[in-house]
Amino acid sequence: MKNFTSIKDVALLDTLLEEAKTIKKNPYGFKSFGENKTLGLLFFNPSLRTRLSMQKAAQNLGMHVMVMNLQTDGWTIELEDGTVMNQSSQEHIREAAAVISQYCDIIGIRTFPSLKNKEEDYQERVLSKFMTYASVPIVSLESATLHPLQSFADVITIDEHKTKATPKVVLSWAPHPKALPQAVANSFVQWMKHAAVDLHIVNPEGFDLSPEFTAGITVMHDQDEVLKDADFVYAKNWSSYQHYGQIATGKGDWMITAKKMQLTNNGKFMHCLPVRRNVVVSDAVLDSNNSLVIAQANNRTYAAQAVLLNLLKNEG
C-alpha cells in the first residue's frame, strides 16, 4: 500500500480485514513499527471520530501525531499552477505539501466537496494535488467523493455482526436538512462490492449515486420493499448527484423508524455518525440493541491502525 484514498489502494480486502481483526485483539502489539515516525493530520473540515480514532490508532502504533486545522490555522492554499497570487491565496500547494512532508512520515487529509461544481469535486483536486506534491504516503480522512476509513470500519462491523455468509445489506437514503456529500455512500458501495454481502441501494428519484459506483446494482426507489428481510440497514443522507448538491424536500417519511425496521430480518442499524436524531433515524432505533453505531465508531480505530501499519511496513 502506497497511499490510502480508496478501495483501489487495497490489494486484498480479506487480508486487510484479517489484519484489522488481529490488531483489535492486540492493539499495542505493533508499537515498534511506529517508533520515531510522525503522522500529520490536516483538516479542512470538522471531525470528531476521524480525528480522534486516527490519533488513537497512531498512538497505539507508537507514532507521534501532529494535527492542524488548515482552514482556520493555516495559510489559504492555492491549487492552480501559474496563478499570479495577488488575491486571497497565500501559499501554494506545491510548497505546503512538500514542507509538511519534511515533518511527517504519513499525512492524513480531510477535504470536503464544494457541492457546487460536480466536475471539480469528482476530480478530487485537493487530495490529488497533495499526492502529487507530497513525498510521503497520503491517507484520506474523507475526501470530496470517498470516505474509505469509514467504509473499512463498516466492513469490519458487518463481519463481526453477521449471522449468515452473505447477509442482505441495504444502503438507504435518509432525510437531512442540509446538503451533504455523497462520499460516505459512494465509498460504502465501493467497499461492499468487495465484501461478501448482498447489497441493495434505495433512494428517492433524482438521488441516484454516480453510475461509477452503482454499476451492477439495481437502484430501487421503494424503501419499504427493499427493507424487507434486510440483515443490515445502513442509513445515510446524500445530496443529489444528478441535480448536483440539491437537497430533497418533503421526504421526511424516509426516516428509519422502528416500524420500518420491523420489515427487516431483525436487522442491525448502521450509520457513520454524526447523525441527526428523529430526522435520519428515530430515537427508538438508534437507542435499540440492534444499533451498531458505537461499534462502527469503535472500529474506526482498528481500521485506521491496519491502514497505518501497512503504510509503515511499506516504508521499511
Dist. CA 256–CA 293, nearest whole Å: 14
Cell digits of residue 64 = 507521534
Q: What track of x and - describes contact with ligand CP for positions 203 through 242 (by CB under 6 A)? A: ----------------------------------------
Taking the complex as a whole, the smallest distance from the CB of residue 46 to ligand CP amounts, in Å, to 7
Q: What track of x and - describes contact with ligand CP for positions 1 through 40 (by CB under 6 A)? A: ----------------------------------------
| Nearest one of 307, 314, 309 to 6, comparing CA atoms | 307
Interface region with ligand CP, contact rule CB under 6 A, candidates 44-52, 68-76, 213-221, 237-245 = 44-52
Selected binder of ligand CP within 6, 143, 150, 182 (CB under 6 A) = 150
Q: What letters, b where the CB count within 10 A reaches 16 and e where it falls short, cover 208-246?
A: bbbeebbeebebeeebeebbeebbbbbbbbbbbbeebbe
Taking the complex as a whole, the smallest distance from the CB of residue 16 to ligand CP amounts, in Å, to 19
Taking the complex as a whole, the smallest distance from the CB of residue 47 to ligand CP amounts, in Å, to 3
Dist. CA 240–CA 236, nearest whole Å: 13
C-beta of 50 vs 214, nearer to ligand CP:
50
Dist. CA 145–CA 124, nearest whole Å: 7
Selected binder of ligand CP within 156, 272, 304, 309 (CB under 6 A) = 272
Cell digits of residue 242 = 444528478
C-beta of 29 vs 274, nearer to ligand CP:
274
Virtual CA dihedral for 58, 33, 307, 2, nearest 10 degrees? 120
Site size toward ligand CP, by CB under 6 A: 10
C-beta of 54 vs 219, nearer to ligand CP:
54
Interface region with ligand CP, contact rule CB under 6 A, candidates 79-87, 226-234, 241-249, 268-276 = 268-276
**Alpha-carbon Rg of the chain, whole angstroms?**
20
Asked if residue 75 lies in contact with residue 90, where contact means CB atoms within 8 angstroms, the answer is: yes
C-beta of 179 vs 263, nearer to ligand CP:
179
Using DSSP, how many helices (H) and how many strands (E) does the chain show? 13, 11
Q: Is 310 in the site for ligand CP (CB under 6 A)?
A: no
Q: Is 273 in the site for ligand CP (CB under 6 A)?
A: yes
Selected binder of ligand CP within 3, 5, 6, 50 (CB under 6 A) = 50
Q: Which of residues 81-110 bind ligand CP (CB under 6 A)?
A: none
Amino acid identity, residue 75?
W
Q: Is 47 in the site for ligand CP (CB under 6 A)?
A: yes
C-beta of 47 vs 290, nearer to ligand CP:
47
Taking the complex as a whole, the smallest distance from the CB of residue 189 to ligand CP amounts, in Å, to 16
Q: What letters, b where the CB count within 10 A reaches 16 and e where it falls short, cover 162-201?
A: beeeebbbbbbbbbbeebbbbbbbbbbbbbbbbbebebbb
Taking the complex as a whole, the smallest distance from the CB of residue 316 to ligand CP amounts, in Å, to 30
Dist. CA 281–CA 213, nearest whole Å: 25
Taking the complex as a whole, the smallest distance from the CB of residue 129 to ligand CP amounts, in Å, to 22
Taking the complex as a whole, the smallest distance from the CB of residue 164 to ligand CP amounts, in Å, to 27
229: Cα within 13 Å, side-chain hemisphere? 7
Site residues (vs ligand CP, CB under 6 A): 47-51, 142, 150, 272-274
